[in-house]
Structure 1
């Protein structure tokens, strides 16, 4: 005859072993740090020129699967594409860059009728293109941030490309650790944004105004 207290003890032991077994089967979840693209260290000064008479919609650029994700991409050598372990962007890279560009246009102030492809509002022009590179790139032993953006300004009424330009920024890195890499992406964006804003406004203003 099995006594009740012995039966209860056996059941408790079996339950404990089951829990320990389950803990050993399922790995601990990876701890991931989520980074946003840093704000501009030197905000664009508000333009003293008169506001333009046209509206502009900012589209997220198209990108490869590698870049259209929250992974922070790195090319350590040759054609090998990897990403930083334990670190992610807060949004996919195309959205990060589009939102940063929106901030730059707002700071400049000349285009006051701004929207994005998230709202899909009607506009006179659309600014988009392809994000070709948004990654840490090792040039020999010296890492750098590489951003390549093939930009297109399109007239919304007939989808005609009125101007296109390829932008490229390389930002050297003194420290390959992730926080410094993220800061490097911010510095590269500081260089890129004023160039894109100025180019887009010049091209829009060069078109016949209705």
Structure 2
């Protein structure tokens, strides 16, 4: 019996050592930094006017699989798209843009009936479209942030497109490291927001 116990103990010890050895060679999980999309804290400068009488729903723009993710996309050369290792956005890029648009319209204040596609609220108009680019791009050796948004304004009651326009922002980067890239995306969206807000207001008022 004592020999049997000794053999069992040896088997348990060998198994434990094997498991410890396996654990020691497993790769360590990648450390990932998660970034919010920054934005200017100062309100968007607009000409004073009364609030409009119509409401607006903001939809997440459609995007390719490469952009519809939390990866911070970069195009280092040609048609090769990659992402920054160890860094992620807090949400997929289409959600970041939609939420940034919501904040811009709230800051502007003229459209008081605002909602998003996360709710079932009815609205007079819907703003959607396609997010064509939301990435860092290397033009030669100089990186830049590139955002391309094809906006489409739709009348909700009959789903008629009343206007569409492509918006584009390019912002050269002085700091190619991830924190500098994130700051560049924030500055680029700050430039884009007033253009989209003003265009939507013009289109909506023309219909009313």
TM range (shorter): over 0.9
1:127 match: 127
Equivalent position SS for 2:146: strand
Report if aligned partners of 1:47, 1:108 keep a CA contact under 8 Å in 2.
no
Report if aligned partners of 2:170, 2:188 keep a CA contact under 8 Å in 1.
yes
Give CA-to-partner distance per residue, 1:55-92, whole Å, 9 cap, x none. Answer: 00000000000000010000000000000011111100
TM-score, structure 2 length as denominator?
0.93
Report if aligned partners of 2:43, 2:108 keep a CA contact under 8 Å in 1.
no
Report how many aligned residue pairs link the two structures.
208
**Is residue 2:168 matched to residue 1:180?**
no
2:66 match: 66
- The offset of 1:46, in angstroms, is 6.5
Distance in 2 between residues matched to 1:145 and 1:113, nearest whole Å = 32
- The offset of 1:16, in angstroms, is 3.5
2:137 match: 137
1:80 match: 80
Map 1:1-210 → 2, pairs under 5 A: 10-11=10-11, 13-24=13-24, 26-45=26-45, 48-207=48-207, 209=208
Runs of 4+ more than 4 Å apart: 1-9
Distance in 1 between residues matched to 2:188 and 2:42, nearest whole Å = 12
- The offset of 1:4, in angstroms, is 9.1
CA RMSD of aligned residues (A): 1.9
- The offset of 1:28, in angstroms, is 1.6
| Gaps in structure 2 of 5+ consecutive residues | none
| Gaps in structure 1 of 5+ consecutive residues | none
Distance in 2 between residues matched to 1:181 and 1:146, nearest whole Å = 11
